C-alpha cells in the first residue's frame, strides 16, 4: 500500500529522492512476515519506514540533498538505520530534505522542493512542509511511509512535524548514535522518529536509541521501554509555561492553541506553573553562530579529493574551488561563509566564544526550570505551514521559524511536537513538549495526553 502511494503521489510531493526497488522492499516485508508467523517478531517487524537521505545506507545512494553527494553510495550503514533494520523495519527509500539539513522549508534541496500534502482553505497555494526533514514529514503525513527517521539540529524534526500534522521527537543529545549520519553541527545533531502517533514515536525511538562505541557522545544509559510511557497518567505532573515564548506578534491562533493545550493538561490532572527562561531571546542568534561554525568545519571535507563529487581543474586549488563552488547550493555556501567568519582569528572571541558562553546560560535556564517543573509546554513554530516563495527575501525571516525549537537544541534536552488541532484555514498546528535530559518518557506521557 505504501509503495502504491509512493507511485501515485511522489512525483507531485517529491518526498523521496530515492525509492528502493520494489522486489527488495517486498523481500524484507516477507522476511518480517515469516518471523511474525513463527512467533519471533521483532520490535519494528514489517513496519514500512522512510529514511531521511542524511543517514548513510549501505549500497543505497545517500545524497544529503546536495549535488556534492549526488552519486555517493556509502559502503556502510549508519548506526541508527542499522538498529532499525535489526529491529525488522522495512525501508522504502530515502526522503528529501534541505541540502545538508540546512533550512526550515525544504526549499534548498538540489533535488527540488518538497510539497506539503495539506492545502489551505480558500486558496490553492503550494505550501512548504517545513524543514529540514520535510520529505520525511510529507511522506508520513500523506501515507507514503508509516514512519520516518528525521534529524534535528535546531528544529528539523519538530517544525516539519508541526507543519504536516504528525508527531516528531528530538531525543536528548546523545540518546541516538550520530555515527554514519552526515554531520551538520555535531554538538547539536540528533536523530529521532517522525510518526503518525505518539505511541509509534515511543516504539521507534526504542529501536533507534542506545550506546554506540563508534560515537563518543552517545550515552551509555539503558534504553527504557519508551512505548510503555505512552498512555501513562500525567496526573500530578508539573507543566511549565515559559513566559519568554509569548513572542511579540505571535498569531492569535497559535496563542489560542497553546491555551487549549494548557487547558487539556489541567483537565488531565497536571499542575500548570509559570516559569521563566530568561536567555531565550538570545537563542536564535547564538544558534546561528554555533551551527554555521560547526558546519563550516564539518563540510571542509568535501573538497573533491577526500569526499564529494570532484570538478576537475588544472591545479589542486582549482579542483577545491570548482568542486565547492559547484557542489554546494547558496544556503550551504552562506552558512560556510558565516561559520568561517565567526571562527576566524579576529572574530573568534567576539562571536564564537561569546555564543558558547550564552549557550551555557541557555542550558542553565532549562536545568533551573526543571527544578520546578517536569516538562515545558510551548508552541512548536510561530506559524502554520507557509506558501512556497514566502519568507524567501530575507534569510533572517526564514531563521525566525526556528525561534521556539532552537533553545531545546542548544540545551540538549528532549522535545517533541504533537499535532493538536487545525487553524481557521484547516492547517495543522503543533505544540512542543520539552523535558529533562534523558526523560523522554515523561515527554511521551504528556504527548500521549495531548494527542
Catalytic residue among 156, 219, 227, 445: 156
What's the start-to-end Cα distance of the chain, in Å?
A: 25
**Is 417 one of the catalytic residues?**
no
In the bound state with ligand GLN, the residue whose beta carbon lies nearer, of 2 and 52, is: 52
Beta bridge partners of 429: 421
Count of CB atoms situated within 10 Å of the CB of 220:
9
In the bound state with ligand GLN, the residue whose beta carbon lies nearer, of 56 and 102, is: 102
**Is 228 one of the catalytic residues?**
no
CA–CA separation, 148 and 168 (whole Å): 10
Question: How buried is 31 (Cβ within 10 angstroms: 0-12 exposed, 13-18 middle, 19+ buried)?
Answer: middle
CA–CA separation, 97 and 118 (whole Å): 18
CA–CA separation, 137 and 75 (whole Å): 27
In the bound state with ligand GLN, the residue whose beta carbon lies nearer, of 375 and 410, is: 410
Helix, strand, coil percent values for the chain (each to nearest 5): 40, 15, 40
Give the 3-state secondary structure of 205-228. HHHHCCCCCCCCCCCCCCCCCHHH
200 contacts 451 by C-beta, under 8 angstroms:
no
| Residue with nearest beta carbon to ligand GLN | 156
In the bound state with ligand GLN, the residue whose beta carbon lies nearer, of 191 and 241, is: 191
Report the nearest approach of ligand GLN to the CB of residue 328 (Å): 15
Report the nearest approach of ligand GLN to the CB of residue 98 (Å): 7
In the bound state with ligand GLN, the residue whose beta carbon lies nearer, of 155 and 428, is: 155
Residues 6+ apart with CB under 8 A from 160: 106, 129, 130, 131, 132, 133, 134, 136, 137, 138, 150, 168, 194
Catalytic residue among 52, 67, 94, 170: 52
**Is 133 one of the catalytic residues?**
no
Residues 6+ apart with CB under 8 A from 201: 167, 168, 169, 193, 194, 195, 226, 416, 444, 447
Helix (H) or strand (E) holding 85: helix 79-86
What are the Cα distances from residue 306, in Å, to 86, 295, 299, 310, 351? 31, 17, 11, 9, 30
Residue ranges binding ligand GLN (CB under 6 A): 101-104, 132, 152-156, 184, 291, 402
In the bound state with ligand GLN, the residue whose beta carbon lies nearer, of 6 and 102, is: 102
Report the nearest approach of ligand GLN to the CB of residue 25 (Å): 27
Catalytic residue among 89, 109, 132, 133: 132
Report the nearest approach of ligand GLN to the CB of residue 142 (Å): 22
Beta bridge partners of 19: 93
In the bound state with ligand GLN, the residue whose beta carbon lies nearer, of 133 and 177, is: 133
Report the nearest approach of ligand GLN to the CB of residue 206 (Å): 23
Report the nearest approach of ligand GLN to the CB of residue 181 (Å): 11
Beta bridge partners of 193: 149
In the bound state with ligand GLN, the residue whose beta carbon lies nearer, of 93 and 154, is: 154
Report the nearest approach of ligand GLN to the CB of residue 429 (Å): 18
Residues 6+ apart with CB under 8 A from 80: 55, 149, 176, 177, 180, 181, 191, 208
Provide φ and ψ at 139, rounded to 5°: -65, -45
Provide φ and ψ at 151, rounded to 5°: -130, 150
Report the nearest approach of ligand GLN to the CB of residue 102 (Å): 5
- Could you list the active site residues? 52, 132, 156
Amino acid at each position: 500500500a505504501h509503495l502504491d502511494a509512493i507511485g501515485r503521489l511522489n512525483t507531485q510531493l517529491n518526498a523521496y529522492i530515492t525509492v528502493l526497488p520494489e522486489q527488495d522492499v517486498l523481500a524484507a516485508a516477507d522476511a518480517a512476515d515469516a518471523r511474525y508467523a513463527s512467533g519471533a517478531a521483532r520490535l519494528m517487524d514489517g513496519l514500512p519506514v522512510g529514511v531521511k537521505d542524511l543517514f548513510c545506507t549501505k549500497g543505497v545512494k545517500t545524497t544529503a540533498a546536495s549535488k556534492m553527494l549526488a552519486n555517493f553510495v556509502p559502503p556502510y550503514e549508519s548506526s541508527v538505520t542499522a538498529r532499525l533494520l535489526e529491529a525488522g523495519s522495512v525501508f522504502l527509500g530515502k526522503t528529501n530534505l534541505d541540502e545538508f539539513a540546512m533550512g526550515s522549508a525544504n526549499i534548498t534541496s538540489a533535488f527540488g522542493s518538497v510539497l506539503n500534502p495539506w492545502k489551505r482553505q480558500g486558496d490553492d497555494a503550494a505550501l512548504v512542509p517545513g524543514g529540514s526533514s520535510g520529505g520525511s514529514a510529507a511522506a508520513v503525513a500523506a501515507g507514503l511511509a508509516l514512519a520516518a527517521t528525521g534529524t534535528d539540529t535546531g528544529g528539523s524534526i519538530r517544525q516539519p512535524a508541526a507543519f504536516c500534522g504528525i508527531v516528531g521527537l528530538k531525543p536528548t543529545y546523545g540518546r541516538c548514535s550520530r555515527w554514519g549520519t552526515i554531520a551538520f553541527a555535531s554538538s547539536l545533531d540528533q536523530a529521532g522518529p517522525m510518526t503518525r502517533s505518539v505511541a509509534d514515536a515511543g516504539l521507534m525511538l526504542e529501536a533507534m536509541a542506545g550506546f554506540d562505541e563508534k560515537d563518543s557522545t552517545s550515552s551509555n544509559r539503558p534504553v527504557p521501554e519508551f512505548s510503555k510511557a505512552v498512555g501513562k497518567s500525567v496526573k500530578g505532573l508539573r507543566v511549565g509555561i515559559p513566559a519568554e515564548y509569548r513572542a511579540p506578534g505571535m498569531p492569535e491562533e497559535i496563542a489560542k492553541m497553546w491555551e487549549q493545550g494548557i487547558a487539556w493538561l489541567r483537565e488531565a490532572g497536571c499542575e500548570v506553573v509559570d516559569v521563566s527562561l530568561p536567555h531565550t531571546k538570545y537563542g536564535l542568534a547564538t544558534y546561528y553562530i554555533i551551527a554555521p561554525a560547526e558546519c563550516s568545519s564539518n563540510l571542509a571535507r568535501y573538497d573533491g579529493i577526500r569526499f564529494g563529487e570532484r570538478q576537475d581543474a588544472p591545479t589542486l586549488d582549482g579542483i577545491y574551488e570548482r568542486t565547492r563552488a559547484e557542489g554546494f547550493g547558496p544556503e550551504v555556501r552562506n552558512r560556510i561563509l558565516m561559520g568561517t567568519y565567526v571562527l576566524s582569528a579576529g572574530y573568534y572571541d567576539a562571536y564564537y566564544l561569546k555564543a558558547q558562553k550564552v549557550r551555557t546560560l541557555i542550558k542553565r535556564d532549562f536545568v533551573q526550570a526543571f527544578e520546578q517543573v517536569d516538562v515545558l509546554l510551548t508552541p512548536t513554530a510561530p506559524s502554520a505551514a507557509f506558501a512556497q516563495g514566502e519568507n524567501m527575501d530575507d534569510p533572517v525571516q526564514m531563521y525566525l521559524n526556528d525561534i521556539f525549537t532552537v533553545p531545546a537544541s542548544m540545551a540538549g534536552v528532549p522535545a517533541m511536537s504533537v499535532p493538536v488541532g487545525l487553524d481557521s484555514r484547516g492547517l495543522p498546528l503543533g505544540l512542543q513538549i520539552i523535558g529533562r535530559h534523558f526523560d523522554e518518557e515523561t515527554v511521551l506521557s504528556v504527548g500521549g495526553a495531548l494527542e
